[in-house]
């Protein structure tokens, strides 16, 4: 069942949305629906990280590093 939804947006945003919808051959309503459907479709554990970020995940697990340690590192690096 389709139900009408009214959205209030700035005129410039509406113009952009209409141009993008035309470019994609879709309606603005379809684009909004697809966006909403895409939110939360993948659990956090399945989200794909960029390669550099993925390579760093867990690198400090079990290490005792504080914010002060980081500040010391920055001072040594940049002074």
Q: Tell me, what's the pLDDT at 32? A: 94
The pTM of this model reads: 0.50
Q: Tell me, what's the pLDDT at 45? A: 61
For residue 22, report the phi and psi dihedrals to the nearest 5 degrees: -65, -45
Q: For residue range 6-48, what is the model confidence (pLDDT) as tens digits?
A: 999 999 999 999 999 999 999 999 999 999 988 876 666 667 8
Longest dimension (CA), the chain: 64
Does 17 map to a domain?
yes
Number of domains in the chain: 1
- Domain range for 23 is 1-41
Is the CB of residue 31 less than 8 Å from the CB of residue 24? Answer: yes
Does 63 map to a domain?
no
User: Which whole number is the average pLDDT over 49-76?
Assistant: 91
CA–CA gap between residue 29 and residue 18 (Å, rounded): 10
User: Which whole number is the average pLDDT over 50-79?
Assistant: 91
Kindly report the CATH number assigned to the domain that includes residue 34.
1.10.1220
Does 22 map to a domain?
yes
Q: Tell me, what's the pLDDT at 42? A: 64
């Amino acid at each position: 069942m389709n139900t009408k939804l009214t959205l209030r947006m700035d005129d410039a945003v509406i113009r952009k949305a209409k141009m993008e919808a035309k470019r994609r051959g879709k309606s603005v309503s379809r684009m909004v629906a697809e966006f909403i459907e895409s939110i939360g479709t993948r659990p956090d554990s399945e989200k794909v990280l960029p390669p550099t970020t993925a390579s760093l995940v867990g690198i400090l697990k079990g290490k005792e590093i504080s914010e002060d340690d980081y500040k010391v590192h920055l001072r040594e690096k940049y002074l």
